[in-house]
Amino acid sequence: MSTKKTSLKDIAQRAGVSSALVSYVLNGKEKESRVGQEIARKIKDIAAELNYQPNHLAKSLRSGKTHTIGLIIADISNPFFANIARVVEDEAKRNGYTVIIGSSDERADKSEDLLNVLINRQVDGFIIVSSEGSEGQSQYLKERGIPFVLLDRYFPELETNYVSTDHYRASYEAGVHLINNNYHRIGMLAYNSQMFHMQERIRGYWDALRDHGISFKSAWLKPVNLSQIEQEVRSAIDDLRSPEIAVDAVIFATYSLALNALKYINELQINVPEDLAIVSFGQAEVFELYYCPITYVRQPIGLLGQKAVELLMREFKHRQSPISQLLMEAELVVRASSKAK
């Protein structure tokens, strides 16, 4: 049994208008064409009733656009990136675009493979959470004239559109919060990475100590390799809790570091915050569900995703737009894990 696809002509005949008028309405151009609201509503109702499916392939061949965006994120299992992906998807849909999502797993080679696959799929542009060593990929997109926006992570030496949190300020405020609550031996676990956002989080932590007269000890900062996260987090906590170092608070530079550390802190039966105060980057329900709710840095996920899509849409419309680089403030959500001594 063959079912004939509904055409614009079928809708036009039912509505008693021209096919061109139907096309304008279904492409969201009724205002430009000065179509009355009543007739526009009638056309949309008939299209829905007849289950009209637009032919995107024909449309993209005519316009040279596929109305798809490639979104490359660092790690889909991290709630921060999963939530960002959701916001980007919703915002893109509002603008008539579909999103194809890929996860680079923090690897530049995987990110490059995804880029190539999506370029071959002829996506109109990209929103990218960069991984370490992927500067060349941004350079390549620039040279090819492919629109893109970097999200959350960027390369300060490259002239690109980006939307990010002010990582330095967020980390600085986390440090000051602990100092104000009478913690003066503050450690930090961060990824062993040259990525700018990670270096900014470390710099914010350093400066908070320095500006409040606390002399930083190199043993307080523990770099962790992502590939060895579980073992290295355990070793870092052991070091920080040793009598020689004995920190009274720790800042975790990422959600994954905090998660691994909290498991081990529980095993060791370390009391939070009596034995060790905690502040972490990255929001997740698990922080609220912990027996001692964790103070965390909440990045403006909704705004980051919306602005990234907005910048990309602007790029699509005006290819010669000036570069936009937006830094947004995070919010420190204070919970019991960092209460004053």
Quick: pLDDT tens for 150-202.
Answer: 999 999 999 999 999 999 999 999 999 999 999 999 999 999 999 999 999 99
Q: How far is CA 201 from CA 207, 223, 277, 280, 327, in A?
A: 10, 12, 18, 11, 14
Residue 1 within a domain: no
The interaxial angle of helices 229-241 and 255-267, nearest 10 deg, is 60
Q: How far apart are the C-alpha atoms of 176 and 276, rounded to whole Å? A: 16
Q: What is the pLDDT of residues 313-339, one digit of tens each?
A: 999 998 778 999 999 999 999 999 999
Tokens, residue 257: 């570091």
Residue 2 within a domain: no
Same domain, 210 and 234: yes
Element (H, E) at 9: helix 8-15
Residue 60 within a domain: no
Same domain, 278 and 171: yes
Task: Tell how strand 331-333 and strand 295-298 pair up.
Answer: antiparallel
User: Number of folded domains in the chain?
Assistant: 3
- Residue 96 has a pLDDT of 93
The more confident residue out of 225 and 55 is 225
Residue 139 within a domain: yes
Does 261 have pLDDT greater than 90?
yes
Same domain, 119 and 190: no
List, in sequence order, every beta strand (DSSP E) within the chain.
68-73, 98-103, 125-128, 148-151, 162-165, 186-191, 221-224, 249-252, 277-281, 295-298, 325-328, 331-333
Same domain, 86 and 179: no
Same domain, 138 and 191: no
Same domain, 142 and 154: yes
Q: How far apart are the C-alpha atoms of 171 and 79, rounded to whole Å? A: 20
- Residue 112 has a pLDDT of 96
Q: For residue 244, how far is the Cα from the chain centroid?
A: 38
Same domain, 44 and 160: no
Residue 45 within a domain: yes
Q: What is the pLDDT of residues 270-317, one digit of tens each?
A: 999 999 999 999 877 889 999 999 999 999 999 999 999 999 999 999
Same domain, 233 and 128: no
Does 254 have pLDDT greater than 90?
yes
Question: Can you state the percent helix, strand and coil of the chain, rounding each to 5?
Answer: 50, 15, 35
CATH number at residue 229: 3.40.50.2300
Does 2 have pLDDT greater than 50?
no
Residue 59 within a domain: no
Radius of gyration, CA atoms only, the chain: 25
Average pLDDT of the chain is: 92
Q: Are 250 and 186 in contact (CB under 8 A)?
A: yes
Task: Tell how strand 148-151 and strand 125-128 pair up.
Answer: parallel
Does 1 have pLDDT greater than 90?
no
Q: What's the whole-model pTM score?
A: 0.82
Same domain, 151 and 215: no
CA atoms within 13 Å, Cβ hemisphere of 300: 17
Long-range interactions of 154-159: CB distance < 8 A, separation 24+: 154/130, 154/196, 154/197, 154/325, 155/130, 155/196, 156/196, 159/323
Give just the sign of the alpha carbon dihedral 168, 174, 176, 179: negative
Same domain, 293 and 305: no
Residue 307 within a domain: yes
Q: Which residue has the tokens 């894990």?
A: 337
Same domain, 156 and 199: no
CATH number at residue 41: 1.10.260.40
The more confident residue out of 16 and 54 is 16
Same domain, 21 and 101: no
Could you tell me the residue range of the domain that residue 189 belongs to? Answer: 167-299+332-338
Residue 136 within a domain: yes
